């Protein structure tokens, strides 16, 4: 019985230290507090709460005239002016982009995009903090696996349309990095489990 208690306690300590995966689904978010606005916070909960601060950018600058736009099948930037594909990332009225920061350090794991126009060479890109731009030219899921510190930005950008209509950002997945204080508590918990085992089995 004592052994079972020790194993259960140690398991709880170790499992609580695992990093958590969060998928921010951008599709069909009509009515969310950020949908239709230039900025907003997308809150995602698991064992902990992770907040993504979303901002609409145009030509590399924050754009109060552009809106984050989620529909039942697509997500993009709605830039002011005629000719814009309102629920896609395009360059009709400037180079549209989404800038995202988080309330804690994360690892950007992947992004999923869709709605690329067949027969055209549309190009999008992502950038983690001040890293290199990585281009993509087709629908699918792209592995990123880059650490983003708290307060830095993850950017998803329309590079060019290539004669197409633009493309949709469906989702992005991140892994929350345990905070130093949490790691310290978990380390202490592991030490306590070892000491408790010694006491009970000595």
Tell me: do 105 and 188 sit in the same domain: no
- DSSP string covering 25-43, please? E-TT-TTSTTTTSSEEEEE
Residues 122 and 24 in one domain: yes
- Whether 3 has a pLDDT exceeding 80, the answer reads no
User: How many structural domains does the chain have?
Assistant: 2
Residue 193 has, within 13 A of its CA and on its CB side, a CA count of: 18
Do 36 and 121 share a domain, yes or no?
yes
In this structure, the answer to whether residues 24 and 89 fall within a common structural domain is yes
How many CA atoms, within 13 angstroms, populate the side-chain half-sphere of residue 52?
26
Q: Are residues 95 and 2 in the same domain?
A: no
Q: Are both 188 and 161 inside the same structural domain?
A: no
Please give the model's pTM, rounded to 2 decimal places. Answer: 0.81
Exposure b/e, 120-159, CB count within 10 A at least 16 = b: eebbbbbbbeeeeeeebbeeeeeebebebeeebbbbbbbb
- Domain span at residue 193 reads 1-17+180-202
For residue 103 the two structure tokens come to: 């309330």
> In terms of domains, do 83 and 146 share one?
yes
Same domain, 153 and 89: yes
Do 128 and 158 fall into the same domain? yes
- Residue 192 main-chain phi, psi, to 5 deg: -60, -40
* pLDDT confidence of residue 29: 96
Tell me: do 33 and 132 sit in the same domain.
Answer: yes
Could you read off the pLDDT of 86-101 as tens digits, one per residue?
999 999 999 999 999 9
Residue 129: is its pLDDT beyond 80?
yes
188 and 170 together in one domain? no
- Flag whether pLDDT at 194 surpasses 80: no
Q: Residue 100: give its domain's CATH number.
A: 2.60.120
pLDDT (tens digit per residue) in 100-117: 999 999 999 999 999 998
- Identify the residue whose tokens are 């890293």: 131
Task: Say how many C-beta atoms besides its own lie within 10 A of residue 26's C-beta.
Answer: 27
Q: Examine the domain organization and report whether 92 and 109 are in the same domain.
A: yes
């Amino acid at each position: 019985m004592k052994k079972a208690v020790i194993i259960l306690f140690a398991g709880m300590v170790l499992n609580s230290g695992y990093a958590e995966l969060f998928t921010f689904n951008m599709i069909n978010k009509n009515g969310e507090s950020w949908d239709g606005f230039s900025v907003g916070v997308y809150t995602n909960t698991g064992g902990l709460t992770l907040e993504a601060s979303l901002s609409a950018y145009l030509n590399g600058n924050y754009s109060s005239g552009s809106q984050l736009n989620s529909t039942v099948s697509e997500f993009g930037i709605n830039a002011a002016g005629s000719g814009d594909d309102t629920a896609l990332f395009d360059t009709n009225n400037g180079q549209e982009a989404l800038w995202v920061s988080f309330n804690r350090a994360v690892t950007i794991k992947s992004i999923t995009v869709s709605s690329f126009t067949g027969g055209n060479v549309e190009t999008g890109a992502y950038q983690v903090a001040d890293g290199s731009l990585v281009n993509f030219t087709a629908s699918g899921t792209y592995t990123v696996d880059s650490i983003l510190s708290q307060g830095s930005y993850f950017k998803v950008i329309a590079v060019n349309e290539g004669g197409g209509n633009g493309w949709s950002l469906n989702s992005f997945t991140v892994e929350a990095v345990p905070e130093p204080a949490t790691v310290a508590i978990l380390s202490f918990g592991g030490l306590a489990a070892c000491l408790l085992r010694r006491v009970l089995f000595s």
